[in-house]
Structure 1
Amino acid sequence: MPLIDRVKERTGSDLSDAELAAMIDAITAEIEARFGPAGPITIELGDPVDPNSRFRRVLRLPRAMDSAQPATIVELDPANSGLAGNEVELAAGDYRVLHGGRTLQRLNGGPNGRDYWAPLVRATYTPLGDQAAREEVTIKLMQLDLSYRGGLRSERAGDYSFTLGSADVTEEREKLLASLGRERMVMA
């Protein structure tokens, strides 16, 4: 379901599609300015100066990999040469993705088989659930923006009463945006 339809369904807003799309675009721009665009990321794993890094059979990814998306894993050995000839792009049979995308295991039966990872590994992959988390935060920010009515916290119709509060919409927005920057806990 398109994001604009999900926003309309969850907020009950009667704003025009053009206005809702403009609000979504503004929130998306804010998220991208803070966390970068959604999509593939590139990270480097290992430590070329640590002699023990040469004997790692598994590497832990900081963000889980979406196995349904393409990934590129490149080993650099020796890592400090800077020569393109020392970079080997691994085939899918050279490694295995484990623990819900959190761990890469080196396999010795593939075309570039080895028992251990090279001292430095460059991985380009799409984090698992990144786009879904961004869309959920976008919807929650839309709900917050559409429901904010100044300092009015509550209102009642019978024997009319209202409550003013110091609801800090900026603080709530920051909490929602900060949730994208936190690592989501995955049990391996």
Structure 2
Amino acid sequence: MSLLDRVKERSGSDLSDDELEAIILAIAAELDARLGPVGPVTVHLGDPADPNSRFYHSLRVTPPIGAGDVTIVELDPGNSGDPGAETILLQGDYRVLHDGRTIQRLTSGPNGRTYWAPLVRITYTPAGASQPARDEALIKIAMIDLSYRGGLKSERAGDYSFTLSGDPVADREAVFAGLVPASGFLLA
């Protein structure tokens, strides 16, 4: 069953297919913006023009690294474009910390160094929800969006009454929060 059909069946909406598709695409884009895409991504870290970027022991990675293969390539010098300036790092050259949010350069290993090169290219699969979990979240968010009535909290007509509970923005954020992997940090 297509995602459009699932949204139509669960929401009972009478909107046209084109309008529902537009809502689905907007929510999917927001999911990708917040969580990163489902498949592999390539990010570049560092700045060859910044002389201080040569002295980083660790680098912050966004979105966080998930389970799966990680390929890290250092480019030194970072602005040469020469394939000979690229060094493919092996597992012993770096360490992934903080639930995939940080990578640390190790001095041991086949390509050990104290600092990262000025430019680092990482290809990995981000931590985040699987496609079925994202689809379910998308349906929930679409239902929240479709039930919002522009500030109407409740209505009554004879024996019929309808009351919206909660805040739609908070309800949407709760769905997004359910997709983010736990970081292990507790802020009090």
Q: Please, what TM-score do these two structures have when normalized by structure 1?
A: 0.64
Alignment of 1:38-187 (within 5 A): 38-66=38-66, 68-131=67-130, 134-135=134-135, 137-144=137-144, 147=147, 154=154, 160-162=159-161, 186=183, 187=185
Q: What number of residue pairs does the alignment pair up? A: 167
Deviation digits for residues 96-126 of structure 1 (CA, Å, limit 9, x no counterpart) = 0001111100112212111111011011122
Q: Percent identity?
A: 51
Q: Structure 1 unaligned segments of length 5 or more: list them.
A: 16-22
1:65 alignment partner AA: I
**Secondary structure at the residue paired with 2:116?**
coil
The Cα shift of 1:127 comes to 1.9
Equivalent-residue separation in structure 2 for 1:32 and 1:161 (angstroms): 35
Change (3 A) 1:94 1:184: same
Q: Please, what TM-score do these two structures have when normalized by structure 2?
A: 0.64
Change (3 A) 1:119 1:145: closer
1:102 alignment partner AA: R
**Secondary structure at the residue paired with 1:122?**
strand
1:83 alignment partner AA: D
Mapped contact 2:37–2:126 kept (Cα < 8 A): no
Deviation digits for residues 33-52 of structure 1 (CA, Å, limit 9, x no counterpart) = 56485322211111112222
| RMSD, matched Cα | 4.4
